[in-house]
Amino acid sequence: MKGKYFIGILVTAFVLFPLVLLSKGKPKLAKKYEKWIKEEVIYIITPVEKEVFSKLETDRERDLFMEEFWRQRDPTPGTPQNEFKEEHYRRIEFANKHFGRFTPFKGWQTDRGRFYIKLGSPFHVEKYMSKDILPIEIWYYYGNPKFIRASFFRLLFFQRYGTGEFELYNQILDGPKSLVTNIDKKLRGVREELDPDARAAIIIQKVSGDLAATVASSFPGDRGQGELASQILLGDVETIPYKKVDDDYAIEFLEHKAVVEVSYSVHYIGNQYRVNLIQDPSGPFFVNYILVPDTLSVDFFKDKYFTNFKTSVRVTDQAGKTIYQGERNTPIELRKEELKVLEKSSFHLHDSFPLVPEITL
């Protein structure tokens, strides 16, 4: 008779779900998932998140990923309401209602719809209509130093053909001449020695000095930053939604997708951990582990704070076969002074369980 001890121990801060038997084949993407990835979150999902989602194989995994996607963006985790998600779908609804008119596109597919969904409502909008220029809108936004190198900026949209969709103006690719109606006729007699863009800029200046300044640069009060700086700014603006979330969680999700159906939670907490196999002097072996969560969300009542850790523990043999998998529930109660101490340090969860050898004859 001999004892064989198992190796390969995984300890993660996940909440368990009941085991669900699913087909092994990768099914065709259902309409709700296709709509979610191609329409609903197309402007805010990071490249990493999109790549991870494409590698998921079951609807169960996709549902859990989608819930975690929104939880990562929730400004008030631990409450029933997710203000970010609610605002996002409000923006989509607004875009579809207001920006798709007289175009072959839905509102969310237009340039104005894209930026409205990404940035929200501008704090100011200026509209220009003149016999000399095409219909134009300028949207003004405040900048956030965490995401963009401008205290505030502006976006210009114009109806390229005088009707239909308002397209985003590009200082380099379009140029002032693209904003002037009947361009050939209008430029006759206007500083013939200048190129068409320079002459068109003179016409636009006569319509509005503010409009001319926006045509030259997306930076209000620009002092020589010009076209290139505007292009860099536009690139920064396009990626603002990506900068608001740490998408490392998506990689963690993918790495654990083999056990996601039984161990993953929409309350996943990023963590560091250490696992040791220790033999007691009396003979038995114990698995001892330490978890250090990245964040700690608590509820409170009067002067006490409460939280609860649910961890899944999986032990495998040398061939990778799961021998033991179970849930360990750890309720935690803290006083206010203890919570203040944790704010300056970190929370450590210590636990252990016996490791019983497999007996073979």
**pLDDT at res. 26:** 54
**pLDDT at res. 313:** 72
pLDDT band at 249 (very low <50, low <70, confident <90, very high): confident
Tens digit of pLDDT for each residue in 122-160? 999 999 999 999 999 999 999 888 888 788 899 999 999
**pLDDT at res. 294:** 64
Is the pLDDT at 11 greater than 90? The verdict is no
Do residues 165 and 159 make contact, with C-beta atoms less than 8 angstroms apart?
yes
**pLDDT at res. 209:** 92
Percent of the chain with pLDDT over 90: 39
pLDDT band at 261 (very low <50, low <70, confident <90, very high): very low
Every domain of the chain and the residues it spans: 1-16+265-361, 122-242
Within 10 Å of residue 7's Cβ, how many Cβ atoms? 12
Do residues 227 and 215 make contact, with C-beta atoms less than 8 angstroms apart?
no
- The full DSSP string for 162-220 is SSSPEEEP-TTTT-GGGGBTTHHHHHTTS-TTS-HHHHHHHHHHHH-HHHHHHHH-SST
Return the higher-pLDDT residue of 297 and 150.
Answer: 150
Mean pLDDT rounded to a whole number for the chain: 79
**pLDDT at res. 332:** 76
**pLDDT at res. 191:** 79
Is the pLDDT at 223 greater than 70? The verdict is no
Do residues 6 and 315 make contact, with C-beta atoms less than 8 angstroms apart?
yes
**pLDDT at res. 14:** 37
DSSP, res 30:
P
Q: Please give the average per-residue pLDDT across 341-357, as a whole number.
A: 69
Q: Please give the average per-residue pLDDT across 247-272, as a whole number.
A: 63
- The full DSSP string for 216-267 is H-SSTT-SS-HHHHHHHHHHHHHTHHHHTS-THHHHHHHHTGGGHHHH--TT
Comparing 11-15, 28-32, 94-98, the range with the smallest average pLDDT is: 11-15
Tens digit of pLDDT for each residue in 161-206? 898 999 999 988 899 999 999 888 778 877 777 888 988 999 999 9
Is the pLDDT at 262 greater than 60? The verdict is no
Main-chain dihedrals φ then ψ at residue 133, nearest 5 degrees: -130, 165
Q: Please give the average per-residue pLDDT across 39-47, as a whole number.
A: 96
Is the pLDDT at 207 greater than 70? The verdict is yes
